[in-house]
Amino acid sequence: MNSVYLDNNATTMVAPEVREAMLPLLGEEYGNPSSMHGLGGRSGLYLSQAREKVAAGLGCDPDEIIFTSCGTESDNTSIFSALESQPEKRHIITTRVEHPAVLNVAKHYERKGYAVTYLGVDSKGHFDLEQYRAAIRPDTALVSVMYANNESGVISPIEEMVDIAKEHNVLFHTDAVQAVGKIPIDLKKLPVDYLALSGHKIHAPKGVGVMFLRRNTPFRPFMLGGHQESGRRGGTENLSGIVGLGTAMELAVKHIEEENTRVRALRDRLGKGLMSAIPDSIINGDTEQRLPNTLSIAFKFIEGEAMLLMLDQFGICASSGSACTSGSLEPSHVLRAMGVPFTYAHGSLRFSLSVYNTDADIDIVLKELPPVISRLRQMSPFRRGDEGLDWADSHAH
Amino acid sequence: MWEYTDKVREHFLDPKNAGTIENADAVGEVGSLSCGDALRLFLKIDEDGRIEDAKFQTFGCASAIASSSILTEMIKGMTIEEAENVSNKEIAEALGGLPKEKMHCSVMGQEALEDAIRKYRGLDAAPAPEGEIVCKCFGVTDLQIKRAVLENNLTTLDEVTNFTKAGGGCEECHGRIQEIITEVRTGKIAEPASVQEKPAKLTNLKRFQLVTKTIEEEIRPSLHKDGGDIELIDIEGTEVIVSLRGSCVGCPSSGHTLKGFVERRLKETVEEAITVREA
């Protein structure tokens, strides 16, 4: 049974071209880029070429690129840099819908005595820009807002938010892990100070990421070690991963139009098809201002993990915002921040596509998912009319 | 993905007894939409008090559906008295085990069964949980946490969350949960009598099992913390004969340990008539 892989916001397959580009580094080209001999020199060349490719993809200079191990390291380092370089400023602005790579760092600094403003979102996943503007204080050290949400796909008004931060001379970081490769990003036009991306979200392997650091922006290394990455990130480079990431970035730029036309059309066909076939279903978040590949859809009165496991029987891979998939007990913090009712939040599925998905994939989901929903609803004690306050809410559990 | 046993997968993908029973003799209900899982258990009970049929409706994950399915299979044919002794551990064991994070699904089965039996006996509404609400996110009280700790020999915050959901939301109650675990495990606060119903009459075998279980799972671990120990020597009727070991030997408080802790705990968990003496 072939997989219908629709979980690309979790991770992506390594593109064949990426795999091909990496092979020499896993074979004869095993030199250390820091070594002073021919083998090392060739590795150094691979490294600089990859850096140039990534910089070209983002519209920045190669020396503004720091290779890291992942998006989380990039996010952490950016926030660490901004705060440690301005010790007199003790206030952070971020949002309730960030990835844990940002949220948990904010909480960490909160425990250390920092004040943190967590911006909320409305039911469409949008921020209130006036509320954001009002939150900026004289001691605000950093604003950290994700470029696009990993669950809902909703795109933040980054341009406006950066402008507002710059009016107040506040540093700005964006976690662009989900946005890179799906929508055009040009850092020459977007004056963020720090940006994070992750290789495995754009068809590079896992274990490689990038931190964009705008020239002359305050920086404090998170990893202390040798002179690698111009002394900004010690540790021998994951050269095969970096080379893979360079090629993946080239491919992402090449595919950006397809992402925004063909992939978007597939996603929309899936969403419309499911909405018309399955009563009591809703799409979470704004259906316009969102990533072209992401569909977060919720089905009332059933639970997400049960859906995922039944879909797995048909080779369909998706994700859920339900509690039970995460080991947590509460549904996704993103869905809750958007005010998605519990009746839907527990029954949310996220489909995230890539350029490798086809019409046939969508056909399979449209054929297999409605009966799964129907079967689980047959088993559920809740029905239409059980809108929230029902027999069970009077029972503590 | 969770690692489920074949039995869990079998009961999830092909659940037994899903559906309703018209004119059921008892319907047990537990959980809620906001909590993310809920179970409605239907029982048909014959004139002799034996469960003729059991069906379920479940809103929840694979573990919740599988727990509901296996529960209905387990209790069919049991008398009400037999069914009320079915524990969440037995439900989980019948599935070949559940991931520790999913143990609350088996607890939900036990609670739905208790609710059904309560209603069968003419108590229409489930009593509101007694005690202090510790976890506001999931409405779990200190008494429910104590019961879970005692019945399942829990020792950590994560385990309590896995079994009761308490602490699985905003995390503000973590400190209080940890206090309760410490109180129960060190025997500083014994389980309130209302938390656990004791069987009315015990056979010698059942009494022996309960005494052994309480000593092994609760009393000895508590004494170990202070370097002491206890050994069960014999049981004559309701008299439990033990021997203190380790630092308990010669301890000036050994009399209090025997009567104030060991005997009191056995009275609470086994039967009121229990007395304890040293060999």
Which residues of chain B have a CB within 8 Å of the CB of A103? none
- A329 and B36 within 8 Å at the Cβ level: the answer is yes
What average pLDDT does the structure give for chain B? 84
The torsion angle over the Cα atoms of residues B186, B187, B190 and B196, rounded to 10 degrees, is 80
Q: pLDDT tens digit string along B12-30? A: 999 999 999 999 999 999 9
The 10 Å CB-count burial string (b at 16+, else e) for B138-157 is bbbbbbbbbbbbbbbebeeb
B248 is catalytic: no
Of the candidates B36, B38, B169, which has its C-beta nearest A324's C-beta?
B36
Task: Give A163 to chain B, closest Cα distance, Å.
Answer: 34
Task: Give B121 to chain A, closest Cα distance, Å.
Answer: 19
CB A71 within 8 A of CB A175: yes
Cα–chain center distance at A96:
14
Question: Of residues B262 and B22, which shows the higher confidence score?
Answer: B22
Give the A window 267-306 contacts with B, CB below 8 Å. 301-306
Point out the catalytic residue in the list B61, B105, B135, B173: B105
pLDDT on residue B16: 96
Nearest to B60 by CA among B119, B18, B7: B18
Of the candidates B59, B62, B169, which has its C-beta nearest A301's C-beta?
B59
Task: Give B36 to chain A, closest Cα distance, Å.
Answer: 6
* A255-261: long-range contacts, CB 8 A cutoff, minimum separation 24: A255/A181, A255/A355, A256/A181, A256/A182, A256/A183, A256/A184, A258/A355, A259/A181, A259/A182, A259/A183, A259/A292, A259/A293, A259/A355, A260/A182, A260/A183, A260/A292
- B59 and A302 within 8 Å at the Cβ level: the answer is yes
Name the region of B110 (left: φ>0; alpha: ψ -120 to 50; beta: rest): alpha
Nearest to A397 by CA among B93, B43, B105: B105
Of the candidates A324, A346, A379, which has its C-beta nearest B58's C-beta?
A379
Of the candidates B37, B111, B168, which has its C-beta nearest A303's C-beta?
B37
Pairing of strands B26-32, B239-246: unpaired
Q: Count CB neighbours of A214 within 10 A.
A: 17
- For chain B, the helix, strand and coil percentages under 3-state DSSP, each to the nearest 5: 45, 20, 35
State the ipTM, two decimals.
0.86
Q: Does A378 touch chain B (CB under 8 A)?
A: yes
Joined together, the tokens standing for residue A111 give: 């425990």
Residue carrying the six token digits 């599935």? B95
Task: Give B64 to chain A, closest Cα distance, Å.
Answer: 9
Q: Does B169 touch chain A (CB under 8 A)?
A: yes
CB A77 within 8 A of CB A67: no
Which residues of chain A have a CB within 8 Å of the CB of B115? 395
Q: pLDDT tens digit string along B99-151? A: 988 888 999 999 999 999 999 998 755 555 667 888 877 778 888 888 888 88
Task: List phi, psi (to 5°) of A322.
Answer: -80, 160
Which residues of chain A have a CB within 8 Å of the CB of B38? 381-382, 392, 397
Task: Give B82 to chain A, closest Cα distance, Å.
Answer: 24
CB A368 within 8 A of CB A317: no
- A396 and B37 within 8 Å at the Cβ level: the answer is no
Which residues of chain A have a CB within 8 Å of the CB of B62? 305-306, 309
pLDDT on residue A81: 97
Percent of chain B with pLDDT over 90: 37
Rounded to an integer, what distance in angstroms lies between the CA atom of residue B177 and that of residue A330? 18
Task: Give B277 to chain A, closest Cα distance, Å.
Answer: 40
Of the candidates B15, B35, B63, which has its C-beta nearest A397's C-beta?
B35
Cα–chain center distance at A304:
20
Q: Count CB neighbours of A394 within 10 A.
A: 12
pLDDT on residue B189: 54
Across the beta sheet with B239-246, what order do the strands follow?
B228-236, B239-246, B275-278
- B62 and A305 within 8 Å at the Cβ level: the answer is yes
pLDDT on residue B174: 87
Where are the strands (E) in chain B, listed by range? 26-32, 37-45, 51-59, 133-135, 140-141, 228-236, 239-246, 275-278
- A310 and B32 within 8 Å at the Cβ level: the answer is no
Q: Does A39 touch chain B (CB under 8 A)?
A: no
Nearest to B180 by CA among B135, B149, B211: B149
Rounded to an integer, what distance in angstroms lies between the CA atom of residue B212 and that of residue B209? 5
Residue carrying the six token digits 């809620």? B32
Rounded to an integer, what distance in angstroms lies between the CA atom of residue A174 and that of residue A165? 12
What is the number of residues in chain A?
A: 397
Task: Give A397 to chain B, closest Cα distance, Å.
Answer: 5
On the CB side of B132, CA atoms within 13 Å amount to 7
- B59 and A397 within 8 Å at the Cβ level: the answer is no
Residue carrying the six token digits 């191990």? A69
A7 DSSP β-pair partners: A352
Task: List phi, psi (to 5°) of A267.
Answer: -60, -45
- A381 and B38 within 8 Å at the Cβ level: the answer is yes
Q: Does B148 touch chain A (CB under 8 A)?
A: no
Task: Give B19 to chain A, closest Cα distance, Å.
Answer: 6
Q: Does A393 touch chain B (CB under 8 A)?
A: yes
Rounded to an integer, what distance in angstroms lies between the CA atom of residue A85 and that of residue B166? 40
Of the candidates A303, A328, A381, which has its C-beta nearest B61's C-beta?
A303
Q: Does A37 touch chain B (CB under 8 A)?
A: no
The 10 Å CB-count burial string (b at 16+, else e) for A185-205 is bebeebebbbbbbbbbbbbbb
Q: pLDDT tens digit string along B184-201? A: 887 765 444 444 444 456
| Per-residue pLDDT tens listing for chain A (397 residues) | 679 999 999 999 999 999 999 999 999 999 999 999 999 999 999 999 999 999 999 999 999 999 999 999 999 999 999 999 999 999 999 999 999 999 999 999 999 999 999 999 999 999 999 999 999 999 999 999 999 999 999 999 999 999 999 999 999 999 999 999 999 999 999 999 999 999 999 999 999 999 999 999 999 998 899 999 999 999 999 999 999 999 999 999 999 999 999 999 999 999 999 999 999 999 999 999 999 999 999 999 999 999 999 999 999 999 997 655 555 667 889 999 999 988 898 999 999 999 999 999 999 999 999 999 999 999 999 887 665 444 444 443 3
- Radius of gyration for the alpha carbons in chain A, expressed in angstroms and rounded: 22
Rounded to an integer, what distance in angstroms lies between the CA atom of residue A392 and that of residue B111? 13
Q: Which residue of A has its CA nearest to B66?
A: A306
Candidates A11, A320, A329, partner chain B, best to mutate (most B CBs within 10 A)? A329
Q: Does A346 touch chain B (CB under 8 A)?
A: yes
- B61 and A330 within 8 Å at the Cβ level: the answer is no
- B165 and A393 within 8 Å at the Cβ level: the answer is no
Three-class secondary structure of residue B54 per DSSP: strand
Point out the catalytic residue in the list B35, B135, B173, B248: B35
Nearest to B165 by CA among B239, B237, B118, B101: B101
Which residues of chain B have a CB within 8 Å of the CB of A381? 29, 38-40, 57-59
Angle at B162 between CA A343 and CA A302, to 5 degrees: 20
CB A245 within 8 A of CB A177: no
CB A297 within 8 A of CB A282: yes
Which residues of chain A have a CB within 8 Å of the CB of B111? 397
